[in-house]
């Protein structure tokens, strides 16, 4: 049973693909009566400032361990989280590649002798962006940003 637990630990450590950290502004609320997206794939991930009038609602940090150089394949997790929070999109302003400190795992038998040892060196892709919500467009006076 102990070996089965170790196997699950190894699988959990080495299969973590990505993480999404959302740091909301103090006035953020998950309620958004003007939200029009019907599925997560509609959430925008932009590298430039959005054209329409919008309000930034915090900061988001997306970390990817599987393919740090090619983040496009892993952005679904970011879109799902933003959809859950009723956010229209994320304006990515920073993309970096960081080295993660090595993870050392050492298992011993009852006599204290090492039976398994592994070391993991990885790089992590990191995107930092501003999640935003579009402001409601007044039909008489539609606003656009620049």
Dump pLDDT digits (tens) for 118-130: 766 677 888 999 9
41/48 Cα distance (integer angstroms)? 18
pLDDT at 90: 95
Give the closest residue to 23 by CA, choosing from 135, 133, 130.
130
**Alpha helix positions (H), the chain:** 2-14, 76-84
List pLDDT tens digits, range 86-120: 999 999 999 988 887 777 777 777 777 767 767 66
The pLDDT assigned to 6 comes to: 45
* Cβ atoms of residues 95 and 127 within 8 Å: yes
């Amino acid at each position: 049973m102990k070996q089965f637990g170790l196997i699950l630990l190894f699988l959990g450590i080495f299969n973590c693909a990505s993480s999404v950290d959302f740091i909301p502004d103090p006035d953020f609320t998950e309620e958004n009566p003007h939200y029009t997206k019907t599925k997560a794939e509609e959430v925008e991930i932009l590298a430039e400032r959005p054209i329409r009038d919008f309000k930034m609602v915090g900061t988001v940090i997306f970390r990817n361990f599987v393919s740090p150089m090619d983040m496009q394949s892993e952005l679904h997790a970011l879109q799902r989280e933003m959809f859950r929070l009723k956010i229209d999109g994320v304006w990515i302003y920073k993309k970096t590649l960081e080295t993660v400190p090595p993870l050392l795992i050492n298992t011993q038998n009852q006599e204290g002798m090492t039976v398994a040892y592994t070391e993991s060196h990885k790089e992590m892709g990191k995107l930092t962006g501003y999640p935003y919500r579009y402001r409601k467009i007044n039909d008489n006076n539609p606003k656009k940003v620049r």
